[in-house]
Amino acid sequence: MLDQLNQLEEKALAALEATKDSDALAEWNRRYLGKKGVLTLMLRSVGELPRDERPAFGRAANGVKVKLEAAYEAQEQALRRAELARELEQGALDVTLPGRPVGPGHLHITTQTLRQIYAIFAEMGFQVYESPEIETDELNFGLLNMPPHHPARDMWDTFWIGEEALLRTHTSPGQIRVMRERANTTCSDPEPIRVILPGKCYRYEQITARSEHQFYQVEGLAVGHGITLTDLIGALTEFARRLYGPERKIRIRGSYFPFTEPSIEADMDCILCGGEGCRVCKYSGWLEIGGAGMVHPVVLRNGGYDPAEWSGFAFGLGVERPAMLKYNIDDIRLFYGNDLRFLRQF
């Protein structure tokens, strides 16, 4: 059997050297390495050998396979080079032809959605405030009313950079940054706040059709005198109606976030079935918009605002998930897969 293998190797290499064009090369590949090729059949017949001869034969046959594959690639390149040289000699290859044109491109679907969200909130008086993607443990958790070992930290699995710094799991730490900035102005009193905080967030979690390990959020924060839950519900209702159509209805459910009290989850009636129940809303009639609530007194105080005088609301919206709903996209992984066939559709 080993002799047969050696003969096969010699014969195959000689035949390979004799190939003169890509057709002959493909034929060689089919004959020796293809599914029904000589070597493949020989490898399959290993079971017919006496048990003690099988390992040595298997090793040798795999060695021949590796050699033949490498020789095939080398020959393929040599033939391609020869073909190019021939074309150059005959002047058939015009090296002065211009390359493929690069089109002007357009905004990514996430950027388009972000801009729609900015425009909606701008009309309600919200400024855009940017805060960093790399945060401290204190800002991402501690000052948001989640001291070390607080069980609510488990809701946000984190990418750590050393002991103290991390990739933010949500845009909420920006609440503290903007409050501290506006509380410490040259005027003696803190300023009222109405901002949205857009940006990328990171979570160490399983990637699925609905969850990425990096995604965008838009945080909203309003702090003032006499701000109530009704203002929050009004802002979210307005947002849903502007993005998805004036007939949208909003549903509020009680929820829990350590940095808001009370905390709510806002849903809107399903844009596809109008609340009848379908695959997109999992037959519930409702779709999640995001988490929200009244800013917790501890968070207001951490931001430099006295909760006896000030109140505020905050919300956190996804960006890709609303875009998925709006454009009927069924897999979040498409957003950052860099496939132009997908991106050109928007």
Q: Fill in the per-residue mask, 126 to 165: x = in contact with ligand FA5 (CB under 6 A), - = not in contact.
A: ----------------------------------------
Among 9, 137, 269, 288, binds ligand FA5 (CB under 6 A): 288
* Cα–Cα distance, 298 to 346 (Å, whole number): 43
Binder to ligand FA5 among 126, 258, 316, 325 (CB under 6 A)?
A: 316
Burial class (CB within 10 angstroms; exposed 0-12, middle 13-18, buried 19+) of 32? buried
Q: Give the ranges where the chain is alpha helix by DSSP (H).
A: 2-18, 22-32, 38-44, 54-90, 109-122, 137-140, 173-183, 229-244, 297-302, 320-327, 340-343
Using the rule CB under 6 A, which residue among 205, 276, 309, 339 binds ligand FA5? 205
- Report cis status (omega within 30 of 0) of the bond before 262: yes
* Complex with ligand FA5: residue 68 or 176, whichever CB lies closer: 176
315 binds ligand FA5 (CB under 6 A): yes
* From 30-38, 240-248, 270-278, 283-291, span contacting ligand FA5 (CB under 6 A): 283-291
Q: How far apart are CA 300 and CA 283, in angstroms?
A: 39
Residue 132 DSSP class: -
Q: Copy the structure tokens of residue 264.
A: 């709510």
Query: Would you say 311 and 228 are in contact if contact means Cβ atoms under 8 Å apart?
Result: yes
Of the candidate residues 143, 318, 324, 335, the single one contacting ligand FA5 (CB under 6 A) = 318
What six digits make up the tokens of 195? 């901002």
Contact 332, 321 (CB under 8 A): yes
Tokens of 231: 């203002």
Binding of ligand FA5 at residue 339 (CB under 6 A)? no
Q: Which two tokens stand for residue 18?
A: 């004799």
**Based on CB atoms, which residue is closest to ligand FA5, 72 or 257?**
257
Residues 233-262 that bind ligand FA5 (CB under 6 A): 257, 260
Please identify, among the stretches 6-14, 85-93, 191-199, 213-221, the one whose residues bind ligand FA5 according to the rule CB under 6 A: 213-221
Q: Which is nearer to ligand FA5, 61 or 287 (CB)?
A: 287
Stretch touching ligand FA5 by CB under 6 A, among 43-51, 84-92, 269-277, 315-323: 315-323
Q: Which residues of the chain form contacts with ligand FA5 (CB under 6 A)?
A: 170, 172, 203, 205, 211-212, 215, 217, 219, 257, 260, 288, 290-293, 314-316, 318, 320-321, 332
